[in-house]
Amino acid sequence: MSRAEPSDRMTRAVVVAIIASALSVMLSAGIRQGFGLFLTPITAELGVGRETFGIAAAISNLMFGIPVMGFLAERFGSRLVLGAGGAIYAAGLLLVTQWVATAGLITGLGILVGIGLAATTYVVVLGALVQLVSPRQRGTVFGIITAMGSAGFLVMPPVAQWLVDTYGWQQAIRIEAVLILSVVLLSLGLPGKQKKGQQTAAGKVMEPEVPLWSFVREGFTKPSYLLLVSGFVVCGFHIAFIGTHLPVYLEDNGIGHIRGAALAFIGAFNLVGSLTFGWLADRLPRRFLLSFIYGMRGVILLIYLLTPITVVSTLLFSAAMGLLWLATVPVTSGTIALLFGPKYLAIMYGFVFFSHQVGAFFGAWWSGKVYDATGSYDLGFYVAIALGLYGLLVHLPIQEKPIEMKLTQAHAAA
């Protein structure tokens, strides 16, 4: 069955949806990337080790990756899911400041913020936008959305650092909760639930639905999809390991004063990397791009581990890692859209993203546990380097062509 696709023409409604999605991701992802700056003051207030904060961050990463958001967006529409996610995110942040205990940290930062993140970032907004833009525009549009997440990474960690230094960690988190509430308003820019036979903002008529769970089950029998699922674990481990533990790693090495700058460097260069790799994803084999990204991450981690930890080496590390930070998102999501078409991108990408967050769980929690046990992050670096090599190899066999789903063929013949 041929797949109906949106045209290349962008209507005003499509442009509004892209802008609303980009700003939502910028706020949601940007605030999240500054959580590592709260590790020291929160653990000091609670009198606990880094593993406790790591557990909360790890639970947040798992909740962030729950694939149910794709199903909810398909069932109720991206607009409702995004708006509800912004409210839950804000509630989780406020809970951390009001319930100053380990249980409050895990419930607020771990569970509620994790759910809010899942509803306000890539799975939901990319699933909405893939229905609105043509295949020739997807890599570029996905790159723009990812780059705005990078812009948040550039802006929010330095702001969070200033807020903590000026007002203390509790007031800083309260201010961030107010900021994330704006996502509720931004959600109005996304399309609501589309009905069968109804035109989208891009002029596409929605196709009759095929059985969802059958589609998902068949998708998990496709080797190329399984390779993407296993490979994205690597990305999650890298992001969580560095994002959660780099700030305190710099403190341990006597250069904690550049924590915010190091994260901002990652965000600034991630802006460039996301746009570049999104553009390249429309023009070059995506499997080679993914292999390059993961392999280079391993090389960069190895070089940083083996060189003296200085201000210059750290900023160079942050810049190099930033170029590759979220460059995987437009490439991976574009590959999934190619394999399965746009209809169920939110759901099929949701499962891949869950594997990302499984890796993030271990990157945040296990690395903190190793530090508490050994007083060093070296083993975390070694594992991250080895995973980079795995990521390089696992993406090479992916076949970049639309998958012929038996279910879809049967549905067309019915």
DSSP state of 181: T
Give the dihedral of Cα atoms 297, 301, 303, 305; nearest 10 deg: 180
Cα distances (angstroms) measured from residue 138 to each of 69, 115, 311, 334, 335: 21, 26, 38, 7, 10
Tell me which residue has tokens 């690597």. Answer: 234
At 74, the pLDDT band (50, 70, 90 cuts) reads confident
At 214, the pLDDT band (50, 70, 90 cuts) reads confident
What's the pLDDT score for residue 212?
Answer: 72
Q: What tens digit of pLDDT does each residue of 389-405 get?
A: 999 999 999 998 887 76
CATH class (in words) of the domain with range 12-409 = mainly alpha
Task: Encode 209-230: b = buried (16+ Cβ within 10 Å), e = exposed.
Answer: ebeeeebbebbeebebbbbbbb
Mean pLDDT across 128-154: 78
Mean pLDDT across 153-175: 87
CA distance 26 to 89: 14
Mean pLDDT across 49-61: 81
3-state secondary structure of 178: helix
Give yes or no for residue 48 having a pLDDT over 60. yes
Give yes or no for residue 206 having a pLDDT over 50. no
3-state secondary structure of 323: helix
What's the pLDDT score for residue 182?
Answer: 93
- Pick 382 or 207 by higher pLDDT: 382
For 100-152, give the DSSP string.
Answer: -SHHHHIIIIIIIHHHHHHHHSHHHHHHHHTTTS-HHHHHHHHHHHHHHHHHH
342 token code pair: 């746009």
Which residue blocks in 168-258 are alpha helix, DSSP H?
A: 169-180, 182-186, 212-219, 223-252
Cα 75 from chain centroid? 22
Give yes or no for residue 342 having a pLDDT over 80. no
Give yes or no for residue 4 having a pLDDT over 90. no
Give yes or no for residue 258 having a pLDDT over 80. yes
Cα distances (angstroms) measured from residue 176 to each of 160, 212, 225, 298: 8, 37, 37, 33
- Pick 151 or 292 by higher pLDDT: 292
Ranking 47-51, 165-169, 233-237 by mean pLDDT, the lowest is 47-51
What's the pLDDT score for residue 201?
Answer: 45
Q: What tens digit of pLDDT does each residue of 12-46 get?
A: 888 888 899 989 999 998 888 788 778 888 888 88
Average pLDDT of the chain, as a whole number: 85
SS (HEC) of 239-302: HHHHHHHHHHHHHHCCCHHHHHHHHHHHHHHHHHHHHHHHHHHCCCCHHHHHHHHHHHHHHHHH
- Pick 325 or 347 by higher pLDDT: 325
Percent of the chain with pLDDT over 90: 38
Mean pLDDT across 306-328: 95
Give yes or no for residue 203 having a pLDDT over 50. no
CA distance 158 to 247: 12
- Please, are residues 117 and 28 in contact by the beta-carbon 8 Å criterion? yes
Task: Encode 232-271: b = buried (16+ Cβ within 10 Å), e = exposed.
Answer: bbbbbbbbbbbbbbbbbbbeeeebeebbbbbbbbbbbbbb
The residues spanned by each domain of the chain are: 12-409
Question: Who contacts 252 (Cβ-Cβ below 8 Å, separation ≥6)?
Answer: 377
At 2, the pLDDT band (50, 70, 90 cuts) reads very low
Mean pLDDT across 59-77: 81
Question: Who contacts 309 (Cβ-Cβ below 8 Å, separation ≥6)?
Answer: 249, 250, 253, 255
- Please, are residues 292 and 276 in contact by the beta-carbon 8 Å criterion? no
Q: What tens digit of pLDDT does each residue of 264-283 get?
A: 888 889 888 988 998 898 88
Cα 64 from chain centroid? 8
Mean pLDDT across 229-243: 93
Residue of 333, 309, 28 lying closest to 177 (CA atoms): 28
